[in-house]
Amino acid sequence: MHLHLNPAPYAAVDPPVRDGAYRTVSFWHETVPITPGPPLDHDVDCDVAIIGGGYTGLSTAYHLKQYAPDLSVVLLERAVIGHGASGRNGGFAMPLLGWDLLYTAEKLGEAAAGRAYRLMYDAVEHVKRMVREHQLDCDLETTGYIMINTCKRREARARREHTVAERLGFDHQWLDHNALQEHIRGEQFLSGIYDPHPCILNPAKLARAMKRLIESLGVQVYEQTPLTELVVNRSPGARLTLRTPQAKVQARQVVLAVNGYGASLGFMKDRILPVHTYIVLTEPLSQQQLEGIGWAKYRTSLETARNMIHYFRLTADRRIAFGGEDADLYPGGAYKDVDEKICAALKARFREYFPSLRDVRFTHQWGGVLGVSLDMFPSFGRGGPDNNVFHATGYSGHGVSLSNYAGALLAPEMLHALGVPNPPPRLELPFFYGKQPSWLPPGPLRYYGMRAYRLALRAQDRLEGA
């Protein structure tokens, strides 16, 4: 294995990184102090090197140090901790896997889907427990979550999903139109499925709080330090070499925790797509404005049941964050912070859903990159000639809970492989551990293929009236 950073796709996001203007990345980044740490400027030898300072990397570092406090763990982040999807997301910590439970049951069978979803609920509870136990300041609220049907076809599908959920023992509640109105009012909102367990949080605050936590456990965090090359020496037991602009790291194990950025490192570039999603944010709303749309009694988090979903939630200061509508892949795998066309479409959709709020101002818009696999399932595992390069990727838009739980799954495997004394018990590994995502054709074929697929998904939404 020999990975090389291809800097070209970063062109669109490099200037803010170089200027250190991290706070302009999203609304969430404005709500938390961010002083970038110094880059790595001296060679380091360590047990484990983690690449990527999102939730996957942070969670892995946390669990390794919890189980093995003497282990030397280094985390390299290209920009600042929480600069990627983990700082920018909608903040929904949910149990969703694949497209949804029905899809997962159709793919894996009901029993396996039940096991997979129970793991996802463990991940949601893990987020809540971490926040509580370590007093991570991130505005966490257990609001519950409703998947809203906006057309008859989706409603029929949702009924089938609800039956499966009941059979598997999940406490989802069917909300008919009247019951749904208790949570949100809107012409298009026909019915929904309510799940009481999901929570929302401020994602950048969580990432920065996790940074402080792992540093307190002794993890060496280097921000502004991109991995430029990973060299695997083929003699058994030899250390891995990681090159960065000023210094190199030698490690016994590496974790690639770069999710949607993997393609730019050449990691799973033919299997995980750097797809973008965007969010627009309103000014703070008054109690009357929220009452006008029926969103004042409960602060339930919401998503529409479409191919091109909308996800919307309230912030701690009573703004509406409204995301989705479209998701795009750019030529050459480029990265974008904002897509004006998609953000304009989002604002138009918001006004269609909530005509009484047509005059509210939008103060922020931003987006980020997801790692998406063809079947929408994540991929965890290990590889390389010495089997010492671990990864967790491909959360496909549903990574807040699972990436925060990634370390709980990876760390026991890593510690057993390292042969540390008294390693933690190994967990039953989920179906996506060791799962290779489907291969995707290269270059323009991939780009145009995905565009055609995206157009088909949008056309289906339009035809169904969703």
Ligand X SMILES: Cc1cc2nc3c(=O)[nH]c(=O)nc-3n(C[C@H](O)[C@H](O)[C@H](O)COP(=O)(O)OP(=O)(O)OC[C@H]3O[C@@H](n4cnc5c(N)ncnc54)[C@H](O)[C@@H]3O)c2cc1C
**Is residue 403 near ligand X by the rule CB under 6 A?**
yes
In one-letter notation, the amino acid at residue 390 is: F
Collapse the DSSP code of 84 into the 3-class scheme (helix H, G, I; strand E, B; otherwise coil) and give the result: coil
Residue 304 Cα to chain centre, angstroms: 18
On the CB side of 422, CA atoms within 13 Å amount to 6
Member of 29, 63, 65, 83 binding ligand X (CB under 6 A): 83
Instruction: State the first-to-last Cα distance of the chain, in angstroms, to the nearest integer.
Output: 45
Cα dihedral sign, 32-325-118-48: negative
Task: Give the C-alpha distances (Å, rounded to integers) separating 305 from 100, 187, 349, 423.
Answer: 10, 15, 15, 43
Strand extents, DSSP E, 246-348? 248-256, 273-282, 301-304, 310-314, 320-324
Pick the stretch among 101-109, 229-237, 367-375, 411-419 that binds ligand X (CB under 6 A).
367-375
Size of site (CB under 6 A) for ligand X: 44
Nearer to ligand X, 333 or 368 (CB): 368
Member of 68, 76, 342, 408 binding ligand X (CB under 6 A): 76
**Is residue 77 near ligand X by the rule CB under 6 A?**
yes
Determine the residue with CB nearest ligand X. 399
**Is residue 85 near ligand X by the rule CB under 6 A?**
yes
Which tokens is 64 given?
A: 């390794």
Neighbouring CB atoms inside 10 A of 132's CB total 10
Q: Binding marks (x or -) toward ligand X, 404..443, rule CB under 6 A?
A: ----------------------------------------
Work out how close the CB of 115 gets to ligand X at its nearest, in angstroms, rounded to a whole number. 20
Nearer to ligand X, 52 or 430 (CB): 52
Nearer to ligand X, 11 or 463 (CB): 11
Nearer to ligand X, 227 or 415 (CB): 227
Member of 32, 46, 68, 79 binding ligand X (CB under 6 A): 79
Task: Give the C-alpha distances (Å, rounded to integers) separating 213 from 65, 107, 122, 124, 228.
Answer: 11, 38, 21, 19, 27
**Is residue 391 near ligand X by the rule CB under 6 A?**
no
CA–CA separation, 220 and 46 (whole Å): 10
Task: Give the C-alpha distances (Å, rounded to integers) separating 203 from 28, 31, 400.
Answer: 7, 10, 8
| ∠ Cα 161 427 121 (to 5°) | 30
Member of 400, 409, 410, 411 binding ligand X (CB under 6 A): 400
Work out how close the CB of 308 gets to ligand X at its nearest, in angstroms, rounded to a whole number. 14
Pick the stretch among 87-95, 122-130, 140-148, 432-440 that binds ligand X (CB under 6 A).
87-95
Q: Are the beta carbons of 379 and 435 closer than 8 angstroms?
A: yes
Nearer to ligand X, 77 or 195 (CB): 77
CA–CA separation, 307 and 459 (whole Å): 10
CA–CA separation, 23 and 28 (whole Å): 8
Which tokens is 295 given?
A: 């969103």
Member of 63, 88, 269, 319 binding ligand X (CB under 6 A): 88
Member of 9, 397, 407, 412 binding ligand X (CB under 6 A): 397
CA–CA separation, 383 and 202 (whole Å): 34
Q: Binding marks (x or -) toward ligand X, 244..283, rule CB under 6 A?
A: -------------xxxxx---x-----------x-x----
Strand extents, DSSP E, 287-378? 301-304, 310-314, 320-324, 362-372
Member of 395, 405, 431, 432 binding ligand X (CB under 6 A): 395
Pick the stretch among 133-141, 161-169, 329-337, 361-369 that binds ligand X (CB under 6 A).
361-369
Q: Binding marks (x or -) toward ligand X, 120..159, rule CB under 6 A?
A: ----------------------------------------
Q: Binding marks (x or -) toward ligand X, 1..40, rule CB under 6 A?
A: ----x-----------------------------------
**Is residue 394 near ligand X by the rule CB under 6 A?**
no
Which residues in this chain contact ligand X in the complex, by CB under 6 A?
A: 5, 51-57, 76-79, 83-86, 88-92, 94, 226-227, 257-261, 265, 277, 279, 311, 323, 367-370, 395, 397-400, 403
